[in-house]
Amino acid sequence: MKTFIISLKQETARRQYMENILNTTNITDFSFIDAVYGMTDLHKYNFKVMPDWIDPIQKRKINVNEIGCFLSHYSIWKQIIDNNIDVALILEDDCVFKDDFNTKFTKILQIDTTTYDYFTLGRNRNNNLYNLGPEIVIENDYVIPKYSYNAHSYLLTNAGAKILANDLALKYIIPVDEYIPLMHDSFPFPKYSDYFKNMKKLRAIGLVNDIVSQRALHILPSSVSNRYIPEYICNTHSTSFTDQNNLKITTQLSHMEQTLRIFDNFLDDALYNECYEYSTGRFESPEMSLRTNLSWDQNIRKDSNLVLTHSLSTDNDLHKKINDIVKTKCQVDSIKDIMFYYWTQGSHIPWHNDGCHNGGITIYLNKVWDEDWGGIFLFKDHETINGFYPKQNRSIMQVGGIKHSVAPTTQNSDIRFTIQIFF
């Protein structure tokens, strides 16, 4: 079976990484496909973007990197058609193969390819965000997938390639992560799926338990990832935060309110939206001014994946607005720093007490955060470890050197956007 790996030509470290992990599998016939680089290559292609597209979760327009990614996948779909390939495996160059990959993948290859068009090996499930109900289990290991992200690893038949590379594909481009579920008729937004309502739909199969995930660097824009060494990104963490059986998710603090306070809907709507747009815009911009947690104390950043930070200048109007509301609501006299943090997959902070500050405040900016993505704020109350889930516009204030930590985000989480304030 032919395997295609999408990778930028200049990303030699990533290509070597993929060769190394493929050598541990039973995949032998593979080749690298030079990815379309959104920053420089788009002028070579004749395409149009869906005119009214807004990302359903991140609430933003498609960016050049997503267009490049779509065109990269599209080029492989065309190769499958032109070369009359029966079925192919398509991978992106940031895949992580689970320990049971070989066993389960061998079993998948025994499935009759006339019974499906598309078979995903790893995905980020979104059906619970839109109350779409449980997925239909067709066998113990397989399901009919509903609205899911990720195009980093999938099998595609010749018939499936013809469905995806239809006459409208280049006329209404959206991110490939969205396009594929749209084409297997599990997309909960008719505003967009109606563009393709007369097109044949994919017969899709997924796994109950994925056998492929992604390295954290995939979710960084090219403008970010090209500036940081991929070797710094680790795939696992070894820090043990707590026994899950002894973790209590709480909604109130009672006697601890002098050292820890929780505010829901902390920012007014206008200021929240301004902070969200500034944070995500700064992250996506190639002109960003970001630092990394490489400068943090080694014991704090040990085993943690990349965290990017941006310090908000005091002459920025947004600084004054945040400063004013913090002083009013939290009764803080003087703020040392206001920073935007960007947590990649696997990022965390171990137990610490912010000893160099009187206290700190975290404001969560993500509009959607699945509880299964981790990133829980942890603190100790006697022998019990308590936790608060990240929640849109929730603020956590801790003072007096209380010990706290942040549990790792998972390998399928979104970027975690926060504001960190120290006083």
Mean pLDDT computed over every residue of the chain: 83
In which band, very low, low, confident or very high, does the pLDDT at 225 lie, cut at 50, 70 and 90?
very low
Q: Are 263 and 394 in contact (CB under 8 A)?
A: yes
CA dist 119 and 108 (Å) reads 9
Q: What is the pLDDT of residues 130-185, one digit of tens each?
A: 777 788 899 889 999 988 888 999 999 999 999 999 999 999 999 999 999 999 98
Which is more confidently placed, 76 or 187? Answer: 76
CA dihedral 317, 323, 326, 328 (to 10 degrees): -100
pLDDT of 76: 98
CA dist 44 and 370 (Å) reads 38
Percent of the chain with pLDDT over 70: 83
Q: Are 192 and 182 in contact (CB under 8 A)?
A: yes
pLDDT of 60: 76
Q: What is the pLDDT of residues 48-62, one digit of tens each?
A: 999 999 888 767 788
* pLDDT, average across residues 92-114: 92
Which is more confidently placed, 380 or 215? Answer: 380
List domains and CATH numbers for the chain.
Answer: 2-214 (3.90.550), 228-422 (2.60.120.620)
Q: What is the pLDDT of residues 353-371, one digit of tens each?
A: 776 678 889 999 998 888 7
Q: What is the pLDDT of residues 268-302, one digit of tens each?
A: 999 999 999 999 887 766 555 667 776 677 777 66
CA distances from 273 to 54, 57, 265, 280 (A): 16, 14, 12, 11
CA dist 34 and 55 (Å) reads 26
Instruction: Decide if pLDDT at 211 tops 80.
Output: yes
* pLDDT, average across residues 68-93: 96
Query: What does the angle CA 158 – CA 162 – CA 167 come to, to the nearest 5 degrees?
Result: 165
pLDDT of 187: 87
Instruction: Decide if pLDDT at 227 tops 70.
Output: no
Q: Are 105 and 26 in contact (CB under 8 A)?
A: yes
Max mean pLDDT range (88-92, 182-186, 364-368, 388-392): 88-92
Which is more confidently placed, 233 or 193? Answer: 193
Lowest mean pLDDT among 79-83, 161-165, 189-193: 189-193
Max mean pLDDT range (18-22, 320-324, 358-362): 320-324
In which band, very low, low, confident or very high, does the pLDDT at 232 lie, cut at 50, 70 and 90?
very low
Percent of the chain with pLDDT over 90: 43
* pLDDT, average across residues 55-72: 84
The 3-state DSSP class for residue 329 equals: helix
Lowest mean pLDDT among 102-106, 239-243, 384-388, 418-422: 239-243
Instruction: Decide if pLDDT at 74 tops 90.
Output: yes
Amino acid (one-letter) located at 375: G
Measured in whole angstroms, how far is the alpha carbon of residue 139 from the centre of its chain? 28
Instruction: Decide if pLDDT at 220 tops 80.
Output: no
Instruction: Decide if pLDDT at 218 tops 60.
Output: no
pLDDT of 366: 92
pLDDT of 235: 34
Instruction: Decide if pLDDT at 212 tops 70.
Output: yes
pLDDT of 245: 43
